[in-house]
Every structure is written in structure tokens, then in C-alpha cells.
Copies of this chain bind each other. A is one copy, B any other.
Amino acid sequence: MAVLNSPTRSGITSADPQRAGERPVETRWDIIELLFFAYRDFVGDPDHVLEEFGFGRAHHRVMHFVYRYPGLNVADLLEVLRITKQSLGRVLKQLLDEGYIVQKAGDADRRQRLLFATAKGEALVGKLAGLQTDRIVRALRGLDASGAEAVRKFLLGMIDHDDPDKVLEAILRADGKMVKA
């Protein structure tokens, strides 16, 4: 039987140059670890389903953003995923070949290949998003409206806002509107 030692209590403090001289910030081991476990389980649900389809996480990410932003072009998709053309090419080719995504030449610029999810693709995205939504809704139970709003603000605050890709920009814009509405 392994007996687990208590978590370390250390004096490790902030490296934020903006806060030099101020009262040091205690390391947020709690949030760091909660985020690790939360994300692990959050992506774990889809992983099982994807396996049945012979797909991986990379396919999920591509399908998700193509479905959500219909007509997305390849360059913007590369930016949001932060991967290279080659890496994207591999999974995108599979999704095209197996009929989850279709391409359409751009209207203004016919070099562009705009991406759209097919009905088959939508079904897959919906299945995966359903699992994740269930988990989110469960986690939000027990929080009131202001608690849920705090969660949104927190997640938004965790994101780098400088030099956003086109998709992130759209999300940030939409979020700004939501607050006012």
C-alpha cells in the first residue's frame, strides 16, 4: 500500500515582472492541478468516441472549427490550431476522403479552399460536443448565474488577447457583445 505524502507547501512565488516589489503571489497549485484534471477528463470523453471512428484528437479539433466556422479557409484553420500545413494536411485529407468535410473554391479568391462540414461531419461534431456539454452542464449545476458568469470571465482571462487569430478574434468580439446584452 502506497502512502501518499501531503502536497508540498513551498515558498515558490510569482515571476511576474509587473509585480516586482509587491507582496509575492502564492503559487496556485490548486488551480493548476484542477485545470490539469478537468481538461484531462474534458477531452477524455471524446477520445473514446473518436477511437471507434479511427480518428484522434487532431481530427476532432479540425472538425470542430470547420463545423463552427463554415467556409473557414486553410490559412485561418492553421492559425487557430497552431500547427503546420503538413500536420493539418494529413488529418484534413482523411476527413475529406471519408466525407466528413468538403472543399469549395473561394468566390472572390479562387485559390482558396473553403471548408464545410458535411451532414456526416456535423453528426460527429454533435456527438462529441454533446458529451462535453453534458460534463459542462453538470459542472455548472450548483452555481448560480453570477457563478457561471465568473467561470466565463475566468476562462476568458486565461486567454492571451494580443495577436489573436481570426477565430479567436470572432470569439472575443462575440463575448464583448454578450456582456452588454
Contact = CB atoms under 8 A, between A and B. Distances in A.
Interface string A1-27: 010111110101111100100000111
Interface in A128-148: 129-143, 146-148
A153 interface: yes
Given A137-B25, A157-B139, A129 B32 contact: yes
Contacts of A127: 15
A158 B139 contact: yes
A128 B162 CA distance: 21
A52 interface: no
Instruction: Report the copy number of this chain in the oligomer.
Output: 2
Contacts of A61: 36
A167 B8 CA distance: 13
A161 to B, nearest CB: 10
Q: Is the interface of A mostly helix, strand, loop or mixed?
A: helix
A105 to B, nearest CB: 13
A69 B55 CA distance: 35
B8 A134 contact: no
A122 B171 CA distance: 38
Contact of A158 (B26, B135, B153, B159): B135
A41 B160 CA distance: 7
A181 interface: no
Contacts of A142: 153, 157
- Nearest 3 A/B pairs, CB to CB: A139-B157, A147-B150, A15-B130
